[in-house]
Amino acid sequence: MPISSNYYGPTELADDVETALQTLNEQLAVTAEETATHTVLSVDGFGDGDTLEATAVYLVGAVAASIDQNMSIRQALYDEADVQRDLFADIVSIIRADNAIDDEFRGKVRDPWLWEGISHLFVHLSHLDSTFHPSGHVLVKTSIKHDVHDHGLDLVALYRSTAVGVSAGESKAYLDDPGRGIRDASNRLREVDQNKRDTELRSTINQLLPSLSDVDKASVAGAFWRNERTYFPFVCCDETCAEDWKSKRPTLTRLNVAASKKLLVPLSITSARDTFDSICSLMREYPSHSA
């Protein structure tokens, strides 16, 4: 599956990531609907060739650490002579060399990593379309973890609304059981309510502080997230297993913020397994691409 002429290749990765974000911003649409227990953020338009290619390029940028915490894009730190080889090796270290992988690796490592990366992508797109993050303007966010077994929150972002707040995200890619994904994500996020994540949040926010402006730094004091926070359960499934995302969710009810701050982001994908295979093939193809 070749990369199109819209992209230049690894020596111009920063420009290519910018192109990918513009493509996704043009082709994806978000609608928000508040229910009694939560708000559903529905993302439409994901799945055609252009969006899968753009997603793959963005994820390559994440692997190459070319996306800063403040979501600015910079060229990846590879020697020009070795960029193709080294970038390919870094990609393969996460998703492996081909799609002939066992179900355990696919279900517990590769697909969860892809979905976590796409979840970060949606928050990143809020800089171009605020409906991806209706709670407020995102200032900085954590990078995509290379190890999906890291026990930290999948995503932490600082945003400005009437005050600076924290968005906490958990991504679950149970392709045949999204209900379990919602429950598991909600239970992890509830640990923020229970103050079990305070040490992690303080450490993470301290790492994000250098990317903030002086004005925003002045608003970060104490456990400020207890006053202003948003929860993002990101749930992915195959289209054949999609549920009524607007139905009452008891686990979401237990999260101690308003329904407008509990943002369920479901994505039901046609032939999800094949779609994830396609994204991985495009990621592996990118290092050898040149315009």
Paired sense of beta strands 263-269 and 229-238, if any: parallel
User: Is residue 159 within a helix (H) or strand (E), and if so which, with residue range?
Assistant: strand 155-160
Residue 80 is predicted with a pLDDT of 85
**Predicted pLDDT of residue 284:** 98
Pure H helices in 75-175 = 83-95, 103-105, 111-124
Answer left, alpha or beta for residue 153, where phi above 0 means left and psi between -120 and 50 means alpha. beta
Distance between CA atoms of residues 125 and 24, nearest Å: 8
> Burial of 231 by CB count in 10 Å (0-12 exposed, 13-18 middle, 19+ buried)?
buried
pLDDT (tens place) for every residue of the chain, 291 residues total: 689 999 999 999 999 999 999 999 999 999 999 999 999 999 999 998 899 999 999 999 999 999 999 999 999 999 988 999 999 999 999 999 999 999 999 999 999 999 999 999 999 999 999 999 999 999 999 999 999 888 899 999 999 998 999 999 999 999 999 999 999 999 999 999 999 999 999 999 999 999 999 999 999 999 999 999 999 999 999 999 999 999 999 999 999 999 999 999 999 999 999 999 999 999 999 999 987
Is 212 in a helix, a strand, or coil?
Answer: coil
Residues 217, 31: Cα–Cα separation, whole Å? 31
Residue type, 135: S
Structure tokens at 243: 């549920």
Cβ neighbours around 79 below 10 Å, total: 8
Q: Other CB atoms closer than 10 Å to residue 146's CB: what's the count? A: 13
Give which of 246, 269, 289 is closest to 118, Cα–Cα.
269
| 62, 144 contact by CB (below 8 A) | yes
CA 90 to chain centre: 19
CA distance 160 to 165: 6
pTM recorded for the entire structure:
0.97
Q: Say which amino acid occupies 6.
A: N
